[in-house]
Chains A and B, each alone.
Chain A
Amino acid sequence: MHKLLEINHCKKNFGAVEVLTDLSLSVEKSQVLSIIGPSGSGKSTLLRCATMLETMDGGDLIYDGLYAARDQGGKAVYAEPAQLQKVRNMFGLVFQNFNLFPHYSVLKNVMEAPMLVQKRARKEVQEEAMDLLNQMGLADKATAYPYQLSGGQQQRVSIARALAMNPKILFFDEPTSALDPELTGEILRVIRGLAEKKMTMVIVTHEMSFARDVSDQVVFMNGGLIVEQGRPEEVIDHPTQERTIQFLRRMREQ
Chain B
Amino acid sequence: MTLQTMILKMSDGFGKTCAIFFLTLLFSLPLGMLVALLRMSRNRVVSTITRLVISILRGTPLMLQLLAVTYGPYYLFGISVSRNKLIPVVVAFSINYAAYFAEIYRGGISSMPVGQYEAAKVLGYSRVQTFLRIILPQVVKRILPSVTNEVVTLVKDTSMAFTVSYQEMFTIGKQIANSQTSFVPFLVAGVFYYVFNLLVDFVMGRAEKRLDYYR
* CB under 8 Å from chain B, chain A span 91-117: 91-93, 95, 97, 99-103, 112-113, 116-117
* Shortest Cβ distance from residue A177 to the other chain B in the assembled complex, whole angstroms: 14
27 A-B residue pairs with CB within 8 Å: A51-B122, A52-B121, A53-B118, A53-B122, A89-B124, A92-B122, A93-B122, A99-B115, A99-B116, A99-B118, A100-B119, A101-B119, A101-B120, A101-B134, A102-B214, A102-B215, A103-B137, A103-B138, A103-B141, A113-B123, A113-B125, A116-B129, A116-B133, A117-B125, A118-B124, A145-B214, A146-B214
Bound form: Cα–Cα A147–B137 in Å? 16
The answer to whether A117 touches B123, judged by C-beta atoms less than 8 angstroms apart, is yes
Interface string of B107-136 (1 = CB under 8 A from A): 000000101101111111100010001100
Bound form: Cα–Cα A52–B116 in Å? 15
The answer to whether B119 touches A99, judged by C-beta atoms less than 8 angstroms apart, is yes
The answer to whether B118 touches A88, judged by C-beta atoms less than 8 angstroms apart, is no
Bound form: Cα–Cα A221–B115 in Å? 25
Interface string of B132-153 (1 = CB under 8 A from A): 0110011001000000000000
* Shortest Cβ distance from residue B136 to the other chain A in the assembled complex, whole angstroms: 10
A165 within 8 A of B: yes
The answer to whether A116 touches B122, judged by C-beta atoms less than 8 angstroms apart, is no
Interface string of B184-215 (1 = CB under 8 A from A): 00000000000000000000000000000111
A11 within 8 A of B: no
Residues of chain A contacted by B138 (CB below 8 angstroms): 102-103
Q: A161: which of B123, B125, B133 is its contact (CB, 8 Å)?
A: B123
The answer to whether A145 touches B213, judged by C-beta atoms less than 8 angstroms apart, is yes
The answer to whether B124 touches A95, judged by C-beta atoms less than 8 angstroms apart, is no
Max chain B C-beta neighbours (<10 A), residue from A51, A52, A99, A145: A99
Number of interface residues of A (CB under 8 A): 26
A85 within 8 A of B: yes
Q: B215: which of A88, A92, A147 is its contact (CB, 8 Å)?
A: A147
Considering only CB atoms, which chain B residue lies closest to A164 in the complex?
B123
Considering only CB atoms, which chain B residue lies closest to A87 in the complex?
B124
Residues of chain A contacted by B123 (CB below 8 angstroms): 113, 117, 161, 165
Bound form: Cα–Cα A91–B123 in Å? 9
Report, nearest first, the 8 A-B pairs whose CB atoms are least far apart.
A99-B115, A99-B119, A117-B124, A113-B123, A147-B215, A93-B122, A145-B214, A88-B124
The answer to whether B116 touches A101, judged by C-beta atoms less than 8 angstroms apart, is yes
Residues of chain B contacted by A97 (CB below 8 angstroms): 115
Residues of chain B contacted by A99 (CB below 8 angstroms): 113, 115-116, 118-119
The answer to whether B133 touches A112, judged by C-beta atoms less than 8 angstroms apart, is yes
Q: A88: which of B115, B122, B141, B214 is its contact (CB, 8 Å)?
A: B122
Bound form: Cα–Cα A116–B124 in Å? 9
Residues of chain B contacted by A85 (CB below 8 angstroms): 124
Considering only CB atoms, which chain A residue lies closest to B140 in the complex?
A103
Interface string of A105-146 (1 = CB under 8 A from B): 000000011001110000000000000000000000000011
Bound form: Cα–Cα A93–B124 in Å? 11
Residues of chain A contacted by B116 (CB below 8 angstroms): 99, 101
Interface string of A26-66 (1 = CB under 8 A from B): 00000000000000000000000001110000000000000
Bound form: Cα–Cα A112–B125 in Å? 10
* Shortest Cβ distance from residue B116 to the other chain A in the assembled complex, whole angstroms: 6
Residues of chain A contacted by B120 (CB below 8 angstroms): 101
Bound form: Cα–Cα A117–B134 in Å? 14
Bound form: Cα–Cα A161–B125 in Å? 13
Q: A116: which of B113, B119, B125 is its contact (CB, 8 Å)?
A: B125
Bound form: Cα–Cα A99–B114 in Å? 9
A102-B138, A103-B138, A117-B124 known; A95+B119 contact, CB < 8 A = yes
Bound form: Cα–Cα A165–B122 in Å? 11
Bound form: Cα–Cα A52–B123 in Å? 11
Bound form: Cα–Cα A55–B129 in Å? 22
Q: B214: which of A89, A118, A147, A161 is its contact (CB, 8 Å)?
A: A147
